[in-house]
Amino acid sequence: MDCGLPVGVFDSGVGGLTVAKEIMSRLPGERILYYGDTARVPYGSKSKETVTEYSRQITKFLISQGVKVVVVACNTASALAVDTMRKEFDLPIIDVVEPGARTAAGVTRNGSIGVIGTEGTIRSGMYNKHIYNISPELNVFGKACPLFVPLVEEGWIYDSVTREVARRYLGEFRGKDVDSLVLGCTHYPLLSNLIRDVVQEVLGGGVTLVNPAVETAKCLKQLLTERGELNSSPEVPEHRFYVSDGAEKFRSFANSILPCNVIETKNVAIKTFE
Amino acid sequence: MDCGLPVGVFDSGVGGLTVAKEIMSRLPGERILYYGDTARVPYGSKSKETVTEYSRQITKFLISQGVKVVVVACNTASALAVDTMRKEFDLPIIDVVEPGARTAAGVTRNGSIGVIGTEGTIRSGMYNKHIYNISPELNVFGKACPLFVPLVEEGWIYDSVTREVARRYLGEFRGKDVDSLVLGCTHYPLLSNLIRDVVQEVLGGGVTLVNPAVETAKCLKQLLTERGELNSSPEVPEHRFYVSDGAEKFRSFANSILPCNVIETKNVAIKTFE
């Protein structure tokens, strides 16, 4: 395998850019080929079958572009589709749930872990499953927060309405004594300052926020190193961004959160990859 | 044409059920065949090309089921796709924007009309276009309210957070002296009590809310009567409901708002209708 090949990263929309950002920061030689499925966003409320089909189409597109690895930068797709994808595709597939679960299990001191995510992620119980696999002694409490994604997309990042919504969602962890909270949706790190404040307010101090994106980037680095595929070229890589709808809106959002300048974003009709 | 054939109704999800409800109430003999595109909901943030493609696929599905007319029970699809659809299909197509615009133009006394809807609907300017066609003297002010759909889907129908969001969105009409407000998204009538209260609070009394669903049902009745296709059978019609994802969740929502018992909802893979 040529280590100069790009790393494929996908999400239902812009959320996965928080994972792309960590990869850019920790693996500065890697070229990223990102796909955001903006024509069918969000995945969080959709079924396992639908999310698996969409993930399969996108993976076929990424493979057609010659990626060396696929990073599923979406918790819902990680929770619902990755098991099936690993059976169907030969190349390595990295998800965000397993690294997130491992980090949470590592940081908890009292063994009580909270997970917030989309309906699909929470209903799947995949964080619980991975955390119990690490240690059956740990307690995991999940809470779906379906309004966080549209609030981020509305741009109400540090806002009184978002704060009130967060109070209500996070208030559900009261009395559960959680000391770590997994941001189990790639949009949520964009709200991390607000979530940190509200956690402090409703649950008190001492709760560690876990961003699976950081651990996912580390996981990717380890995998590429083991396979001898890490790109250590000093050249600044040219990342590419593809979406299924609204290329310009995506580009402007990407430029607001990535450390590089996103010059162009292309529309790709994903349904042809079946 | 056989007047016993069903009326096709579609929306991106559950919102169009508010239109189906008005049709059931005003045309009690008609059998409804409803399609909710729940695998690709919402349409409001998507492009004209994407919404047109999705609407085309669903219309082909409805035609394959033998409907006599298609009601586009989605403001975004009405605003973005209906012109193209009317060119491509032979059967009559009724949208919600034109009847809504006509009602608003009829109820305003001072000539100043507000329209709330999704990003796609507001950006399209279709309400403005239809209202100006009726009378160029009328003033139309649009405001996109992208959080209302997810708030309805979260079930926060009469809620302090939703009220605060409504205050912020509707506050944008301050000083514009609107005396009528079009609920330009089929989800919004589900929030009409809350919207009425907030309008009273932030804009004062005397603002009439316009629900395009009512006028759309009247429009359908007139069309079917003119074509001799109105079903006046005294039999209680058996409606059918199809979705692209999450049939059970849809059924439970439909049962909470429709006057009939929705026994079954079927999944149909819509992408095959291309």
The residues of B assigned a catalytic role are 74, 185
Which residue among B50, B164, B245 sits closest to A46, beta carbon to beta carbon? B245
The structure tokens listed for A191 are: 């709200």
> What local confidence, expressed as pLDDT, does residue A56 receive?
97
Quick check: A114 and A178 in contact, CB under 8 A? Answer: yes
Taking only the tens place, the pLDDT of each residue in A49-108 is 999 999 999 999 999 999 999 999 999 999 999 999 999 999 999 999 999 999 999 999
Amino acid identity, position A266? K
If you measure CA to CA, which chain B residue comes closest to A244?
A: B50
The structure tokens listed for B51 are: 């919404």
Instruction: Select which of A3, A74, A219, A260 is catalytic.
Output: A74
CA distance B174 to A144: 35
String of DSSP letters for chain A: --TTSPEEEEESSSTTHHHHHHHHHH-TTPPEEEEE-TTT---TTS-HHHHHHHHHHHHHHHHHTT-SEEEE--HHHHHHTHHHHHHH-SS-EEESHHHHHHHHHHH-SSSEEEEEE-HHHHHHTHHHHHHHHH-TT-EEEEEE-TTHHHHHHHT-SS-HHHHHHHHHHHHTTTTS--SEEEEESTTGGGGHHHHHHHHHHHH-S-PEEE-HHHHHHHHHHHHHHHTT------SPP--EEEESS-HHHHHHHHHHH-SS----EEE--GGG--
Q: Which residues pair with A242 in a beta bridge?
A: A35, A266
Cβ <8 Å between B153 and A245: no
Asked if residue A1 has pLDDT above 80, the reply is no
Contacts of B57 in chain A (CB under 8 A): none
The CA distances from residue A150 to B15, B42, B183, B202, B220, in Å, are 17, 11, 20, 24, 34
Instruction: Select which of A3, A145, A185, A260 is catalytic.
Output: A185
Taking only the tens place, the pLDDT of each residue in A177-210 is 999 999 999 999 999 999 999 999 999 999 999 9
CA atoms within 13 A on the CB side of A2: 6
> What local confidence, expressed as pLDDT, does residue B270 receive?
78
> What local confidence, expressed as pLDDT, does residue A23 receive?
97
Please report the ipTM that was assigned to this predicted complex.
0.87
The structure tokens listed for A218 are: 């580390």
- How close is the nearest chain A Cα to the Cα of B166, in Å? 11
Model confidence, pTM = 0.91
Q: Taking an 8 Å Cβ-Cβ cutoff, which residues of chain A contact chain B? A: 38-41, 45-47, 49-50, 146-147, 149-151, 153-154, 160-161, 164-165, 168, 244-246, 271
Which residue among B38, B150, B244 sits closest to A146, beta carbon to beta carbon? B150
Q: How far apart are the first and last CA of chain A?
A: 25
Contacts of B50 in chain A (CB under 8 A): 39, 244-245
- How close is the nearest chain B Cα to the Cα of A146, in Å? 7
Residue from B59, B116, B115 nearest B82 by CA: B59
**Residue B233 DSSP SS3:** coil
Percentage above 70 pLDDT, chain A: 99
Contacts of B243 in chain A (CB under 8 A): none
Asked if residue A274 has pLDDT above 70, the reply is no
**Residues 6+ positions from B79 with CB-CB distance below 8 Å:** B97, B117, B120, B121, B124, B126, B127
If you measure CA to CA, which chain B residue comes closest to A147?
A: B150
Top residue of A43, A159, A161, A162 to mutate, by most chain B CBs within 10 Å, is A161
Average pLDDT over residues A13-34: 96
Q: If pLDDT is split at 50, 70 and 90, which confidence band does A216 have?
A: very high
Longest CA pairwise span in chain B (Å)? 52
Contacts of A50 in chain B (CB under 8 A): 39, 244-245
Torsion sign (Cα): A119, A124, A127, A131: positive
Higher pLDDT, A188 or A3: A188
Taking only the tens place, the pLDDT of each residue in B108-160 is 999 999 999 999 999 999 999 999 999 999 999 999 999 999 999 888 999 99
Which residue among B46, B154, B246 sits closest to A46, beta carbon to beta carbon? B246
Top residue of B154, B253, B271 to mutate, by most chain A CBs within 10 Å, is B154
Query: For chain B, which residues score pLDDT lower than 50?
Result: none
Which residue among B50, B147, B245 sits closest to A39, beta carbon to beta carbon? B50
Q: Is B273 exposed, middle or buried (0-12, 13-18, 19+ CB in 10 A)?
A: middle
> What local confidence, expressed as pLDDT, does residue B238 receive?
93
CA dihedral B73, B79, B84, B85 (to 10 degrees): 0
If you measure CA to CA, which chain B residue comes closest to A163?
A: B161
> What local confidence, expressed as pLDDT, does residue B274 receive?
63
